A and B are shown apart, each in its own frame.
Chain A
Amino acid sequence: MRELELYFGPQHLGMVGNFSITLKVEGDRIVKADANPGYLHRGFEKLMEYRTWMQNFPLVCRINVVEPDHIELIYSMGVEKLASIEVPLRGQFIRSIYCELARVGSHLFGLWAYANMLGFDTAAQWAMYHRDLVLDLFEELTGGRVYHIYIRPGGVRRDFPNGFEDRIIHTLHTIGSKVPDYNATFFENRIFEKRAKGVGKLNREQAKRMGAVGHAIRATGMKYDIRKIEPYAAYDQVEWEVPTREDGDVYARLLTIRDEMIESVHMIFKLIDKMPRKGAVCTKTPNPFKWNIPAGDTYVRCESSRGELGLYLVSDGGDKPYRVHFRTPSYSHGLTILEKALVGESIADVGNIMISLYVVAPEIDR
Chain B
Amino acid sequence: MAETSFLSPFKAVKYLFKKPKTLCYPFELKEPAARYRGFHINDWDACTGCGNCADICPNQAIQMVKIAELKAKPQEGIKDERPQLDYGRCCFCGLCVDICPPGSLSLTRDYFHIHFNTDTFTFIPKDEKRDTESFVSADEYSVLKASLSHRKKDYRGFSPDIEYSLFEPERVDMPQISPPKRKLSFIEQVIGYSKDEAKREAGRCLECKLCEDACPANLKISEYIHAISEDMPEESLRKIFEDNPIPSICGRICMKHCEDACSLRIRGDALAIRWLKRYVADTIEDYRKTLELKPGKSTGKKIAVIGAGPSGLSLAYFLRLKGYDVVVYDELPGGGGTLRTGPPTYRLPLGSIDKDVNYIKTLGVKFKFKTKVGKHIEFKKLLKEYDAVFMGIGNTVSFSTGVKNADTCCLALEFLKDNKIGKQRKVGKEVIVIGGGNVAMDAARETIRLQHMQYPNKKVITKTVSLEDWHELPATKEEVEEAKEEDIQFNPAWGPKEVVLDEKGNITGLECKKVKSVFDEKGRFAPTFYEKETMFIKGDMIIEAIGQRPDFSFMGKLANQLKFTKRKKVKVDKNGMTSIPKVFAGGDIVNINLDAVTAIADAKIAAEGINRYLSK
Is A337 part of the binding interface, using a Cβ–Cβ cutoff of 8 Å?
no
Which A residues lie within 8 Å of B6 (CB)? 189-191
What are the interface flags for B37-62 relative to A under an 8 Å C-beta threshold, 1 for contact and 0 otherwise?
A: 10000000000000000011010000
- Shortest CB distance B317–A (Å): 31
- Shortest CB distance A284–B (Å): 6
Is B526 part of the binding interface, using a Cβ–Cβ cutoff of 8 Å?
no
Chain-A contact segment, one of B134-142, B161-169, B471-479: B161-169
In Å, the complex CA distance between A290 and B228 comes to: 11
Which A residues lie within 8 Å of B21 (CB)? 129
Which A residues lie within 8 Å of B167 (CB)? 287-288
What are the interface flags for A221-245 relative to B under an 8 Å C-beta threshold, 1 for contact and 0 otherwise?
A: 0000000000000000000000000
In Å, the complex CA distance between A282 and B9 comes to: 47
In Å, the complex CA distance between A14 and B116 comes to: 36
Which B residues lie within 8 Å of A181 (CB)? 11-12
With known contacts A129-B21, A287-B203, A185–B37 Cβ distance under 8 A: no
Which B residues lie within 8 Å of A185 (CB)? 8-9, 11-12
Chain-A contact segment, one of B64-72, B91-99, B550-558: B91-99
Q: Is the CB of B205 within 8 A of A287?
A: yes
Which B residues lie within 8 Å of A122 (CB)? 9, 12, 15
- The number of inter-chain residue pairs (CB within 8 angstroms) is 113
Is B226 part of the binding interface, using a Cβ–Cβ cutoff of 8 Å?
yes
In Å, the complex CA distance between A286 and B229 comes to: 11
Q: Is the CB of A58 within 8 A of B95?
A: yes
With known contacts A188-B4, A188-B5, A255-B1, A288–B166 Cβ distance under 8 A: yes
Q: Is the CB of B8 within 8 A of A184?
A: yes
Which A residues lie within 8 Å of B55 (CB)? 289
The one of A51, A193, A288 in contact with B4, judged by C-beta atoms closer than 8 angstroms, is: A193
The one of B1, B12, B56 in contact with A184, judged by C-beta atoms closer than 8 angstroms, is: B12
Interface residues on A, range: 35 or more
What are the interface flags for A158-197 relative to B under an 8 Å C-beta threshold, 1 for contact and 0 otherwise?
A: 1001000000000000000000010111111111110000
Q: Is the CB of A51 within 8 A of B164?
A: no
Q: Is the CB of B58 within 8 A of A58?
A: yes
Is A220 part of the binding interface, using a Cβ–Cβ cutoff of 8 Å?
no
- Shortest CB distance A191–B (Å): 7
- Shortest CB distance B6–A (Å): 4
Q: Is the CB of A59 within 8 A of B168?
A: no
In Å, the complex CA distance between A183 and B93 comes to: 38
Which B residues lie within 8 Å of A216 (CB)? none
**In the complex, which residue of chain B has the Cβ closest to the Cβ of A193?**
B4
Q: Is the CB of A144 within 8 A of B92?
A: yes
Q: Is the CB of B94 within 8 A of A143?
A: yes
In Å, the complex CA distance between A346 and B246 comes to: 84
Is B340 part of the binding interface, using a Cβ–Cβ cutoff of 8 Å?
no
In Å, the complex CA distance between A141 and B166 comes to: 19
Q: Is the CB of B32 within 8 A of A139?
A: yes
Is B2 part of the binding interface, using a Cβ–Cβ cutoff of 8 Å?
yes
Is A54 part of the binding interface, using a Cβ–Cβ cutoff of 8 Å?
yes
Q: Is the CB of B4 within 8 A of A143?
A: no
Is A285 part of the binding interface, using a Cβ–Cβ cutoff of 8 Å?
yes
Max chain A C-beta neighbours (<10 A), residue from B15, B93, B161, B167 = B93
Other A-B pairs beyond A54-B95, A58-B91, 20, CB < 8 Å? A54-B166, A122-B12, A139-B35, A140-B34, A143-B33, A144-B36, A147-B92, A157-B164, A181-B11, A183-B8, A184-B9, A188-B8, A190-B5, A190-B8, A191-B9, A287-B168, A287-B203, A288-B56, A288-B99, A289-B56
- Interchain residue pairs A-B with the least CB separation, the first 10: A58-B93, A55-B58, A143-B37, A143-B35, A184-B11, A140-B33, A139-B33, A193-B4, A143-B158, A190-B6
18 inter-chain pairs at a CB distance below 8 angstroms, sorted by A residue, are: A54-B95, A55-B58, A58-B91, A136-B33, A140-B33, A142-B35, A144-B36, A144-B92, A147-B93, A157-B164, A158-B35, A161-B34, A184-B8, A185-B9, A186-B9, A191-B9, A287-B203, A290-B203
